[in-house]
Structure 1
Amino acid sequence: MRQKSIAVIIVAAGKGERASVGAALDPKQYRRIGGKPVLAQTVQAFLALPQISRVVAVIHPDHVARYEELGLVDERMMPPVIGAETRQGSVLEGLKALAPIRPDFVLIQDAARPFASPQVIGDVIAALGEFDGALPALPVTDTIKRSLDGQQVATTEDRKQLLAAQTPQGFRFGQIFSAHMRASTIRNRQFTDDAEIAEWAGLRVALVTGDRDNIKITHPEDFARAERILSGDLPMETRVGTGFDVHPFEPGDAVWLGGVRIPHKAKLKGHSDADVALHALTDAILGAIGEGDIGVHFPPSDMQWKGAASTVFLKHAGGLVAQAGGRIVNLDVTIVCEAPRIAQHVPAMREVIAETLEIATTRIAIKATTSEQLGFTGREEGIVAMASASVELPRVD
């Protein structure tokens, strides 16, 4: 008997705004968990299975460069498809891309569910031998109330009849493609998932047992839960690192501080852009995870770092935290100088740091003070920065 061909559509065309806090962070499917972007985690969960023959990602038109940066190299990966304004429309675009190869089965997966297990995927595929469609689901454990106005309870639902749907949802390709095409002609109605379209089209949809860890990352706090899942729910511990840096002035017309260019009568002297604030902060993060200092990772003797933006160093330190299964809890930076004036630039600095490390601006504090005209900073010969970083890591006894 011929082995069934199985294709996967990864729906990644949303902007993921509900999962962002503070700074304009990357969409949730491109943010990192366990040192790897969510979308990459999701795709690789399917590429790890030899029975999967094709995978196509449906992405937002603004995210083409971000997607290419994922480096998803596998002969089964198809070129990404540009999605529509709605999830339903994006799935249809994915189905159209698969139409020329016409697989036997198609699995439709939310990009924000990176933990679809081989067991769940296998159970969905197995059910397609008997049914037109299948989806993983879990019993609802909370009591469910219905309200007509959002203020008063109208009735209590029978939770024994209620299930929480997950993805991947699997279907026989020709049937779900036809159902989606028909559904696209209906005005003023959007279906909540692909199983609802299948139900509407009269297809038989089976239930298989879902997985509690097969979460959909929707809100900011879901990233912390995702990290715990990846670490196997290991107990976490908080570590603290400190950083200190100083750079003298030399002739110039601006200084780099906190990733922001600030006009001044001089510039800071250094091998890179001499961003004293980001150097201290990078050292603080590296110290918290026991990874030495900035000079170990970016030696000043290496000419490739001549004039480099210090955000490169900071991003590297943040990546090491993610690779260790950790997360940055908070950062605190103090800049000491008589001039230039720092306060008006603090919001921009926090935005740069937040975007570089993919954390919320609420986790970052930047303060500026003078040395009351004492010492070399008081004589305006240079700038000092001090930083501390709190990092949560899996505990190792």
Structure 2
Amino acid sequence: MHTRMRTDVIVVAAGSGQRAGEGLPKQYRSLGGVPVLRRTLAGFIGQPGIRNVLPVISPGHAELCDAALAGLDGVLAPVAGGATRQASVRAGLEALAQDPPELVLIHDAARPFVSARLVAEAIAMASAQGAAVPALALVDTIKAVAAPGFLATGPDRNALRGVQTPQAFRYAMIAAAHRAQAGADDLTDDAAVAEAAGHRVAAFAGDPANIKLTTPEDFVTAERRLLAGLADVRTATGFDVHAFGPGDHVVLGGLRIPHTHGLAGHSDADVVLHALTDALLGTIGSGDIGHHFPPSDPQWKGAASDQFLAHAAGLVRAAGGRIAHLDATVICEAPKIGPYREAMRARIAAILDIAVARVSVKATTSEQLGFTGRREGIAALAAATVRLPWID
């Protein structure tokens, strides 16, 4: 009877990612609305044979890591890495030493497209060979630099391979190899550490899609790849209305706006966020705001509507979707919406963690017709467009 070997994963995320351009370190940047590190870790969680997944981070990135991984189950508490990649991997290996696995996979945080096939083959090859790495045949001719601006004949590309991660090893072997090479921090990957310790490293087929995010252009390519997988574009609408009541302000688009009256409602009566919530729920066929937050439930009395909108967006993301655009139209004679329009856009974008450019807020009157024209209340129309994986 075949017994699967205990396998842990170390995800190395301690670098600064300076070549990726300005902004957050690349492992904490958003890719398809999800931090890169979270996307990478999720690629291992729940895979057959994987026991633990351990991120190794920079000591100065603890808050960034906590935010990126909030609510993600199946991940060990991060450990602090070192000044070099080798030092970071050693820190991860030592953190696993109290309850060591039989096999360990070592993976770059900046490779968020690891596939189930790569994980399975890495485990199988490490089990059979002791040390194995995914590798790709080169398609470009490789040249040597003879002098500045000039090239000379280079090595035979048929004898060369581009090496990826996850690199897979028997834990005891690679831990000993890293300890033996602790003073030689110029080795470029864990295969080199194993080879320096006298071990042979096998190769198995890599995956061209398993790219490493290094430059700003890599992020553009990765975003395009994610969008290509979201071919089901859906649009839905929402509508809400609330009557005026006693008060000195209204809540619209998540903002408190001074006014001669308030809006009557079980929650904060934010017609803009309510309409947007219904529009988002409509894109995934998930009922309406009253279904998720019944007005008969006392816990929602006076509740801030930003949590309703965030909940709807969470359901879209749980379905594998991305919010492409939101559009809201406020219908009222007063208060004037224009002075608050940009702040509303910014607030809605912040609630949903999307770019402000993906949010539109408009306003109109009803030319003194109907209940809004008589200044009896405020209405809002909304439309949401999302991209989802195609389902037949």
Q: Which moved more, 1:158-167 or 1:255-264?
A: 158-167
Change (3 A) 1:199 1:262: farther
**1:138: Cα distance to partner?**
2.3
**1:261: Cα distance to partner?**
3.2
Mapping for residues 15-30 of structure 1, pairs under 5 Å: 27-28=29-30
Asked if the contact 2:322–2:387 (Cα under 8 Å) also holds between the matched residues in 1, the reply is: yes
Alignment of 1:211 onto 2:211: no
Alignment of 1:71 onto 2:73: yes
Mapping for residues 246-265 of structure 1, pairs under 5 Å: 246-265=241-260
**1:209: Cα distance to partner?**
0.6
Aligned to 2:42: 41
**1:91: Cα distance to partner?**
2.9
Distance in 2 separating the partners of 1:32 and 1:132: 34
Mapping for residues 1-397 of structure 1, pairs under 5 Å: 5-12=6-13, 27-28=29-30, 31-32=33-34, 38=39, 41-46=42-47, 48-49=48-49, 52-59=50-57, 60-62=61-63, 63-64=65-66, 67=69, 69-72=71-74, 78-83=76-81, 89-111=87-109, 113=111, 116-128=114-126, 133-141=131-139, 159-177=157-175, 180=178, 193-198=189-194, 203-214=199-210, 219=219, 222=222, 225-226=225-226, 236-371=231-366, 375-378=370-373, 380-396=375-391
Asked if the contact 2:137–2:161 (Cα under 8 Å) also holds between the matched residues in 1, the reply is: yes
Asked if the contact 2:31–2:219 (Cα under 8 Å) also holds between the matched residues in 1, the reply is: no
Distance in 1 separating the partners of 2:283 and 2:388: 9
**1:337: Cα distance to partner?**
3.4
Amino acid at match of 1:283: D
Offset from partner CA, 1:44-97 (integer Å, 9 cap, x none):
244x32xx454323354113365352233xxxx644334557655543332221
**1:220: Cα distance to partner?**
5.8
Q: Give the match's secondary structure for 1:91.
A: helix
> TM-score normalized by structure 1?
0.74
Q: Give the match's secondary structure for 2:44.
A: helix
Asked if the contact 2:32–2:226 (Cα under 8 Å) also holds between the matched residues in 1, the reply is: no
Asked if the contact 2:40–2:114 (Cα under 8 Å) also holds between the matched residues in 1, the reply is: no
Asked if the contact 1:45–1:116 (Cα under 8 Å) also holds between the matched residues in 2, the reply is: no
Distance in 2 separating the partners of 1:325 and 1:206: 36
Q: Give the match's secondary structure for 1:359.
A: coil
**1:279: Cα distance to partner?**
0.9
Change (3 A) 1:183 1:357: farther
Change (3 A) 1:3 1:313: closer
Q: How many residue pairs were aligned?
A: 377
Task: Give the root-mean-square deviation of aligned CA atoms.
Answer: 4.4
Change (3 A) 1:385 1:13: farther
**1:129: Cα distance to partner?**
5.5
Change (3 A) 1:58 1:254: farther
Amino acid at match of 1:171: F
Asked if the contact 2:32–2:322 (Cα under 8 Å) also holds between the matched residues in 1, the reply is: no
Amino acid at match of 1:219: F
Distance in 2 separating the partners of 1:261 and 1:144: 62
**Runs (5+) with no aligned partner, structure 1:** none
> TM-score normalized by structure 2?
0.75
Distance in 1 separating the partners of 2:335 and 2:84: 48
Offset from partner CA, 1:317-370 (integer Å, 9 cap, x none):
223333434332221112233444444544443344334434333222222344
Q: Give the match's secondary structure for 2:262.
A: strand
**1:309: Cα distance to partner?**
2.3
Distance in 1 separating the partners of 2:84 and 2:342: 34
Asked if the contact 1:19–1:220 (Cα under 8 Å) also holds between the matched residues in 2, the reply is: no
Q: Give the match's secondary structure for 2:269.
A: coil
Distance in 2 separating the partners of 1:156 and 1:375: 81
Offset from partner CA, 1:156-183 (integer Å, 9 cap, x none):
9765455443321123434544554576
Q: Which has the higher contact order (CA 8 A, sep 6+)?
A: 1
Amino acid at match of 2:12: V
Q: Give the match's secondary structure for 1:319.
A: helix
Distance in 1 separating the partners of 2:132 and 2:390: 39
- Percent identity at matched positions? 49
Amino acid at match of 2:201: V
Amino acid at match of 1:328: I
**1:299: Cα distance to partner?**
1.8
Distance in 1 separating the partners of 2:142 and 2:332: 58
Q: Give the match's secondary structure for 2:55.
A: strand
Q: Which moved more, 1:134-143 or 1:10-19?
A: 10-19
**1:111: Cα distance to partner?**
4.5
